[in-house]
Amino acid sequence: MTRHAPAIAVLCSGQGTNLQAILDAARRGRLTARVALVLSDRPGAKALERARRAGVAAYDVDPKGYPTKAAYERELIRLCEAAGVRFICLAGFMRVLSPVFVHRFRSRILNIHPALLPAFPGTHGARDALAWGVKVTGVTVHLVDEHVDHGPILLQEATPIAPNDTEATLLAKLHRIEHRLYPRAIQWMVDGKVRVRGRTVRVVR
């Protein structure tokens, strides 16, 4: 991956398995973008360790250290712009971004969610699907707007829920799908194939 490849920032709060999938896709040439920055709102997030092991700049930016949410997000913006970031990828980032951040990177922020949106938004998509007893769930990659799990959908893939699935086994299935889908959707953005009009997305093949 050359230094001239489009730079992306990945925002994480936890284990960083989708971050790892993005890093692996870039290393193998399946993603022609460079992970330039990883940010986490949790100092102990394993995602930070994954980033540093890959030679990527990684910072924990604790929101408790800022007087307001806007001040916190302005610091995230500063770090992203200093790194020359073109696209933002949320990968298990457990904070809702406000218009302060979203407006700065309008139509350039992606999120991946473990459910077939608009069904089961929020922090427990797999658990909620099991609780409702649905037979099919899946993964959604979407652009981020000012609302939770609400922006225009780029890509979805469904998977059946087995009668004996637990939250852990279902999440394992969903993670395997996520790790395939997210780099593909990011590549569409990098290639300029995504056209957005309101809540409608068209991918130019």
CATH (domain of 196): 3.40.50.170
Tokens for 67, please give them: 């007087």
Structural domain including 191 reads 7-203
Specify whether 113 is catalytic.
yes
Output the pLDDT for position 146.
86
Distance CA 168, CA 92 (A): 16
Q: Given the residues 113, 124, 150, 179, select the one marked as catalytic.
A: 113
Give CA–CA dist 115/171, Å, rounded: 10
In angstroms, rounded to a whole number, what is the distance separating the alpha carbons of residues 126 and 87? 27
Q: Is pLDDT of 161 > 60?
A: yes
pLDDT tens per residue across span 49-107: 999 999 999 999 999 999 999 999 999 999 999 999 999 999 999 999 999 999 999 99
What is the pLDDT averaged over residues 159-173? 97
What is the three-state SS of the chain?
A: CCCCCCEEEEEECCCCHHHHHHHHHHHCCCCCCEEEEEEECCCCCHHHHHHHHCCCEEEECCHHHCCCHHHHHHHHHHHHHHCCCCEEEECCCCCCCCHHHHHHCCCCEEEEECCCCCCCCCCCHHHHHHHHCCCEEEEEEEECCCCCCCCCEEEEEEEECCCCCCHHHHHHHHHHHHHHHHHHHHHHHHCCCEEEECCEEEECC
3 pLDDT band (50/70/90 cuts)? low
Alpha carbon of residue 59 to chain centroid:
17
pLDDT digits (tens, 9 = 90+) for 105-142: 999 999 999 999 999 999 899 999 999 999 999 999 99
- pLDDT of 2 reads 53
On whether the CB atoms of residues 141 and 182 are closer than 8 A, the answer is yes
Q: Is residue 1 in some structural domain?
A: no
Condensed to tens digits (0 to 9), the pLDDT of residues 168-191 reads: 999 999 999 999 999 999 999 999
Phi, psi of 17 (to 5 degrees): -70, -35
Task: Indicate whether 135 belongs to any domain.
Answer: yes
**Between 1 and 35, whose confidence is greater?**
35
Residue 38 lies in a domain: yes
**Would you place residue 18 in the very low, low, confident or very high pLDDT band (cuts 50, 70, 90)?**
very high
User: Which of 125, 149, 148 has the alpha carbon at shortest distance from 137?
Assistant: 125
For the entire predicted model, the pTM comes to 0.93
- How many domains does the chain fold into? 1
Domain assignment of residue 50, yes or no? yes
Nearest Cα neighbor of 8 from 49, 56, 63, 52 is: 56
Residue 2 belongs to a domain: no
Residues 34-43 have pLDDT tens digits of 999 999 999 8
